[in-house]
Structure 1
Amino acid sequence: MSAIRHLVSIKDLEDQEFVTLIERAEYFKKIFKSDESAEFQKNHLKLLGKTIALIFTKRSTRTRISTEGAATFFGAHPMFLGKDDIQLGVNESFYDTTKVVSSMVSCIFARVNSHNDILQLCEHSKVPIINSLCDMYHPLQAICDMLTIKEHLDYSTNKLKVAWIGDANNVINDMAIACLKLGMDVSIATPAGIELDSGIAQVGKEIAARKNLNFILTHDSVEAAKGAHVLVTDTFVSMGEEYAKAAKLKQFEGFQIDEQLAKHADPNYKFMHCLPRHNEEVSDDIFYGKHSIVFDEAENRLYAAMAAIDVFVNNKGNFDDLK
């Protein structure tokens, strides 16, 4: 029996495997948007009568809707298990809960606090674990982000630079590696005192060297934005950090993406944000302006979840011979 493959982070995937996930997301979007009944029915039978568990210890909008929608597309019943619904980590160990839940479902989407929680789930689960967010990675967001960039700027035919201006967090940990794997230059600007995770930085440097790409880490937001085809940011105050909001906002002064900063980017730049968004991160004229593709990006979370289910559940982690 072959080992179960889980989706934990983008860095764990071969370059072509990651490309395949984006192509599958693109494929399912085409089917979903065209309402091709024959293709709908064929895919709906793949997990008919099965259950997909959603273990969420952190609240969500896009992740929950997209995951439940993707499970339903394949005929599975999505079972939402919030932090108040099951015994996980309260009256029962991770090991016991994982053994029980994974014995009754075809897959577990896990949106949790600690990366260690994901690792424990992977270690003890009998079915694939899809990391739907932890404090270290957010691979589903990276899949949808790359699909969105491909649709609007086509990285396969254009040389692109992606500039991240904001915190060093789980989103950029996966997004940086994703962009580099696809041949894009990456520039990351964080405030002084905030550094990209050293392990991610090392992997990024290795990929950049292998592909002859620019991978820049800086504390200068203007430097990062210069010539960028994509400007990206995220929340400055993550869930669980609300107690430090005042200090965080002071630290991030000068890092809001506004018209003045955007002037340094390519004239045809696109703006992205994984949502939810706050005013301190990006001005209204950028977020709702002509360069923004944030709502296309949000919709693409659905197709990213479909791709993950198809590869890791329907095809048991085999990236070849997808049907």
Structure 2
Amino acid sequence: MNFYGKNFLKEYDFDKDQLETLINFAEHLKTKEKHGIPQRFMSGKHIALIFEKQSTRTRSAFTVAASKLGANVEYLSKNDMQLGAKESVEDTAKVLGSMFDGIAFRGFEQSTVEELGTHAGVPVWNALTNEWHPTQMLADFLTIKEHLGTYHGKTVTFVGDGRNNMSHSLLVTGAILGVNINIVAPESLQPALSVQKLAKELQQQSGSRSLITSDVEKGVHGSDVIYTDVWCSMGEEDALEERYELLHPYQVNQQMMDMTGKENTIFLHCLPAIHDTTTDVGKLAYEKFGVDGLEVTDEVFRSSYSKVFDQAENRMHTIKALLAVTCGDVY
């Protein structure tokens, strides 16, 4: 299966076999790394990281993954470039593509990463846009496989703001891989109808199913994975009071975990998480609402069934696999 030179701009750029190959290869590379076996598939290569949005895990994962593969990394923030201000995306793509071997983009508009992918002439990877978060999906389903043995036929339930990039990505990736996806969210924050339609079409091939509901008990029962994300995405902090009113019945707490009716349900979160009062947003939530956490309680976040830090580490291993097969000398 030849990935070389391919873009990864959204989850459905790759089919089931391709996504599974990436996840399995990441698992293989992770095992080799734990045994100290070097993987220099990208010696002498150069990759650019274009980041319009702040990042902890994604930037670190791309930087460390590329370095471990032998590549050099150049970080370009919005303030370092002319992208979209004095230079078009097309012109920027052509310039960077003539110098770099691959480009990661983390920003706002999906159209930007799509245009980079069209004109760069080198692999372009979506490191998050408003619409999709494909590299996160690779890490999530690797984590599920590691802890549950498989993701096939499992039920992953996303609880909270169901119209963001995370719920959309889970819905579509689950449909491709044959994983049942439940989205439990208030009606005003449920996935876009276009994404639901796409998922239904993909489910016809994989045989999986989805449930979109505002009923917490109905949506959570039988879940193998409970997944949540922050209630205010980047740039939406001003909407905290409105979001709290809408979403506080959807907080992941021990009572919700017990509703699954399963013994080995795991908890996932793409991070950062507002689970205590040690952050500015956590302090603000305590001052405004008298709560110690927002989308998840500290009890659940720190529990033995919480796999959030395995999930975070797997960002690096899965991105390493993606870089290696699309831009490295694997084959």
SS at match of 2:250: coil
Change (3 A) 1:159 1:120: closer
What's the counterpart of residue 270 of structure 1?
266
Among 236, 241, 255, the alignment partner of 1:246 is 241
Displacement of 1:6: 0.7
What's the counterpart of residue 31 of structure 1?
32
The AA in structure 1 aligned to 2:181 is V
What's the counterpart of residue 299 of structure 1?
313
Displacement of 1:84: 1.3
Is the Cα–Cα contact under 8 Å of residues 179 and 186 in structure 1 kept in the other structure?
Answer: yes
Is the Cα–Cα contact under 8 Å of residues 140 and 305 in structure 1 kept in the other structure?
Answer: yes
The AA in structure 2 aligned to 1:47 is M
What's the counterpart of residue 256 of structure 2?
261
**In structure 2, how many angstroms separate the alpha carbons of the residues matched to 1:214 and 1:96?**
42
Among 228, 232, 245, the alignment partner of 1:233 is 228
**In structure 2, how many angstroms separate the alpha carbons of the residues matched to 1:91 and 1:214?**
46
What's the counterpart of residue 16 of structure 1?
17
What's the counterpart of residue 318 of structure 1?
none
**In structure 2, how many angstroms separate the alpha carbons of the residues matched to 1:246 and 1:307?**
40
SS at match of 1:71: helix
**What are the ranges of 5 or more consecutive residues in structure 1 without an aligned counterpart?**
316-321
Displacement of 1:173: 1.6
What's the counterpart of residue 122 of structure 2?
127
Percent identical: 33
Displacement of 1:4: 4.9
Q: 1:1-323 alignment to 2 at 5 Å?
A: 4-36=5-37, 40=38, 43-44=39-40, 46-155=41-150, 159-167=153-161, 168-265=163-260, 266-278=262-274, 279-314=293-328, 323=331
Is the Cα–Cα contact under 8 Å of residues 155 and 182 in structure 1 kept in the other structure?
Answer: no
**In structure 1, how many angstroms separate the alpha carbons of the residues matched to 2:15 and 2:205?**
13
Displacement of 1:5: 2.2
Q: Output the TM-score relative to the length of structure 2.
A: 0.89
Displacement of 1:177: 2.2
Residue deviations 1:259-299 (CA, integer Å, cap 9, x gap):
11111112210000000001210001101011100000000
Is the Cα–Cα contact under 8 Å of residues 146 and 178 in structure 1 kept in the other structure?
Answer: no
Change (3 A) 1:49 1:212: closer
The AA in structure 1 aligned to 2:129 is C
**In structure 1, how many angstroms separate the alpha carbons of the residues matched to 2:94 and 2:13?**
24
Displacement of 1:208: 2.5
Is the Cα–Cα contact under 8 Å of residues 5 and 327 in structure 2 kept in the other structure?
Answer: no
Displacement of 1:179: 2.3
Residue deviations 1:21-57 (CA, integer Å, cap 9, x gap):
1011111111111102xxx1xx31x322221100000
Is the Cα–Cα contact under 8 Å of residues 128 and 312 in structure 1 kept in the other structure?
Answer: yes
Residue deviations 1:184-232 (CA, integer Å, cap 9, x gap):
2111111121221222211211233333323111111221110101000
What's the counterpart of residue 287 of structure 2?
none
Change (3 A) 1:3 1:301: closer
Displacement of 1:305: 0.7
SS at match of 1:133: coil
**In structure 2, how many angstroms separate the alpha carbons of the residues matched to 1:98 and 1:214?**
38
Displacement of 1:3: 10
**In structure 2, how many angstroms separate the alpha carbons of the residues matched to 1:201 and 1:85?**
37
**In structure 2, how many angstroms separate the alpha carbons of the residues matched to 1:8 and 1:200?**
16
Question: How many residues are paired up?
Answer: 309
The AA in structure 2 aligned to 1:179 is G
**In structure 1, how many angstroms separate the alpha carbons of the residues matched to 2:153 and 2:15?**
21
The AA in structure 2 aligned to 1:93 is S
The AA in structure 2 aligned to 1:312 is T
The AA in structure 2 aligned to 1:268 is N
Over the residues paired in the alignment, what is the CA RMSD in angstroms? Answer: 1.7
SS at match of 1:188: strand
Question: Which stretch of the first structure deviates more once superposed, 210-219 or 187-196?
Answer: 210-219
Residue deviations 1:91-122 (CA, integer Å, cap 9, x gap):
22212222111110000011011111111211
Is the Cα–Cα contact under 8 Å of residues 175 and 200 in structure 2 kept in the other structure?
Answer: no
SS at match of 1:108: strand
